[in-house]
Chains A and B, each alone.
Chain A
Amino acid sequence: MNRLTVLLVDDHDGFLNAAMRHFRNVGWLEIVGRAMNGLEAISRTEELKPAVVLMDLAMPEMGGLQATRLIKAQTTPPYIVIASHFDDAEHREHAARAGADAFISKLNYVQEVMPILARLAGERGHV
């Protein structure tokens, strides 16, 4: 079956591995790649053309906000979810201004990201 393709972006290996362990059990989801900073995220998005990018807000080299702006500058950009350690009006405002489609708290990652992914998978006929 055609699955919802996702690129995972985070500078912590541990975080990426934990997220991978969870996503592996979701049948309609396919993690097509990982990136550890914003620069890598831009080139991997161009190369792998995922439907969704789960983007950490803060990473070395290039952070998630800048990467989101630049990924949104590509033709038919993916849906981008920003994950932030801090969840407040200011962080949400900056994410939205960068062009992110959704915002989630890293402290509640799986619980907040799954409904978003499930909705997208439903809309796009992957479920």
Chain B
Amino acid sequence: MSESRILVIDADRTRGERIGTILDFMDLTPRVVTDADELHLNRHDPQDWLAVVLGEVPDKRTWKAFLDWLKRDPLHPPILALPEHHLDGAADFGLNEANFWPLDYPIKQPQLVEFLRRASIKKMEEIADVGLPKGGPTGSSAAVQKLRRMIDQVASFDTTVLILGESGTGKEVAARAIYERSARRSGPFVAINCGAIPSELLESELFGHEKGSFTGALTSRKGRFELAEGGTLFLDEIGDMSMPMQVKLLRVLQERSFERVGGSETIRCNVRVIAATHRNLEDAIVKGSFREDLFYRLNVFPIEMPSLRDRREDLPELVNALTKQLEKSGRGSVRLSAEALAVLQAYQWPGNVRELSNLIERLAVLHPAGLVRARDLPARYRDGIELPEEVELDLVDAEPVAVPDTLPAEGIDLKDHIARIEINLIKAALDRAEGVVAHAAQLLGLRRTTLVEKLRKYGLGRDGDINLTSEP
């Protein structure tokens, strides 16, 4: 994606050039063509452009080829259509209305700026959305099972929910899971991170503003409460909200109504609020930085998110889910060796699932489609780990054969010992690869034929305890 690159297609060369000049003047980077065939589509990605300004189409055939190419990418930029297409362009081109924005001509700069700003936000939201796991928290540990039960329990009631827990534990995932299971699922889900927005902008973000209410308020705008009407509003990092904003929020929760900044009309709202914070709000109340009355208003149904170190047994399942999600969204692929996985299971995870997710994505970028071994992990994950092999045997295989890591007093049968290590690792790899020998071989850094030989040697896969598939 490029925020500043705009494509202008217009057979009316004079008009196209004029729009290009306006975009240039706005410090943006236009590419003006009179026909789509001037572009070498094989050298481009639809997301190379922030938006496509569409004027007169000279050749329906080349335009259709461009349109087909564009639509193959579900995250393609919006079409800003000039007046000749306003009436039936979206239907003619088979475009979703959400990606077809009628642009006035002569160009009105505020409208163009607003469209491009929205196109940039749309892009960021779509990319963020691709990265979010669907369907709720992943894992089968007791902690996650309890979390799922609480989500199911509260979803159908319209109560306010307060989600607590360390940063990165997936509070937004839990909030979305509540929304998806609620009667409001056909309404919008709107999220806002109160800690990430400068306090002077937060009020207008939440409640909207009227035209001219402050410098820069060129048009009136809906806030997130209005955007969430009939649905759910997720207020993340509520503990970072300033005291004056807390008063305003409390009023909305009590009275279900508010006014836009600079507005006098009282707006009624029907919004379910799910709030979240990594802070200890009771401590904040004692320190005087959080209102007690707001806390009790929010704390109707508290949900505590478990930290990742309290549910390490979920790590293989999480890695698997995160890897699949990366592959599905076209962000690459990565496989972790059993020893790397064991090293990660021993780590403290101060950044929780978000840290794990970012690590997996980083590994996918640095080792595209490759096997990541323990030594490929960033140093902080390996600190204090000396014998990954033994750790791995204890943690990865469901029922590992006990393999001592020191020389027992009575001595050892080294050949047998090594064979046990080998069998445990092969079983773990086959489990991870769901029985696909070729994938398991990749996990072990072996050729497929070598692994088949070893399976034969140890009699694995014949006694029914492991189901093998010869082809991926």
Contacts and interface: CB of A to CB of B under 8 A. Distances in A.
Most central of A12, A69, A93, A97 by chain B CB within 10 Å: A93
**B contact face: mostly helix, strand, loop, or mixed:** helix
A47 to B, nearest CB: 12
Contact of B48 (A12, A60, A69): A60
Interface string A60-81: 1011011001101111000000
Nearest to B351: A73
A81 to B, nearest CB: 15
Contact of A93 (B193, B378, B379): B193
Nearest to B379: A75
Most central of A56, A84, A94 by chain B CB within 10 Å: A94
Interface string A76-108: 000000001110111111111100000000110
Interface residues of B, number: 39
Interface string B123-150: 1100110000000000000000000000
B361 A89 contact: no
Interface size class of A (residues with CB under 8 A): 35 or more
Contacts of A92: 196-198, 201
Contacts of B128: 94, 97
A39 interface: yes
B2 interface: yes
A89 B217 CA distance: 13
Contacts of B196: 92-93, 95-97
Interface in B173-210: 192-193, 195-198, 201-202, 204-205
Nearest to A46: B366
A118 interface: no
Nearest to B200: A89
Given A60-B48, A85-B28, A91 B124 contact: yes
A93 B192 contact: yes
Given A75-B380, A92-B196, A93-B193, A70 B3 contact: no
A93 B2 CA distance: 18
B124 A65 contact: yes
Contacts of A86: 3, 116-117, 120-121
Interface of A: 11-12, 39, 42-43, 46, 56-60, 62-63, 65-66, 69-70, 72-75, 84-86, 88-97, 106-107
